[in-house]
Amino acid sequence: DTEVTQTPKHLVMGMTNKKSLKCEQHMGHRAMYWYKQKAKKPPELMFVYSYEKLSINESVPSRFSPECPNSSLLNLHLHALQPEDSALYLCASSPRTLTGWAQLGQPQHFGDGTRLSIL
């Protein structure tokens, strides 16, 4: 069983719709991530939250809007997406400390993803 839960598993939406992807973890992790993965490609980082604050935005278009309402939840709000945004969206989490060194070897835990199709 995955410890990072993503909903929904599948989502089909039109280019004018507004929808949200949700991610939840209860491992006490304080770093959470959104990745986008196209078929037969590695995951591409989109956003990183550290202690509920956005720390990295990899120049993602504004039609993707992340939100971290608390330490266990991560949302990705979608609006006016394009067909090329169709992909698997993966959420991940990892421990995070201010000192950092002791947590370097801690892996990121991934959810099973939301498969998004834009019509």
Q: Beta strands of 1-119 (E only): which ranges? A: 4-7, 10-13, 18-25, 31-37, 44-50, 53-57, 64-70, 73-79, 87-94, 109-110, 114-118
C-alpha gyration radius of the chain: 14
Amino acid at 20: S
Residue 103 near residue 97 (C-beta atoms within 8 A): yes
Shortest approach of other proteins to residue 42 CB, angstroms? 4
Q: Taking CB under 8 A as the rule, does residue 117 contact other proteins? A: no
**Which residues sit opposite 6 in a β-bridge?**
23
Q: How far apart are CA 63 and CA 81, in angstroms?
A: 6
Q: Taking CB under 8 A as the rule, does residue 60 contact other proteins? A: no
Q: Taking CB under 8 A as the rule, does residue 43 contact other proteins? A: yes
Please select the residue that binds other proteins; options are 11, 13, 22, 45, rule is CB under 8 A. Answer: 45
16 vs 39, beta carbon nearer other proteins: 39
Please identify, among the stretches 18-26, 48-56, 66-74, 79-87, the one whose residues bind other proteins according to the rule CB under 8 A: 48-56
Please select the residue that binds other proteins; options are 24, 33, 74, 81, rule is CB under 8 A. Answer: 33
Q: Taking CB under 8 A as the rule, does residue 86 contact other proteins? A: no
Q: Taking CB under 8 A as the rule, does residue 18 contact other proteins? A: no
Q: Taking CB under 8 A as the rule, does residue 41 contact other proteins? A: yes
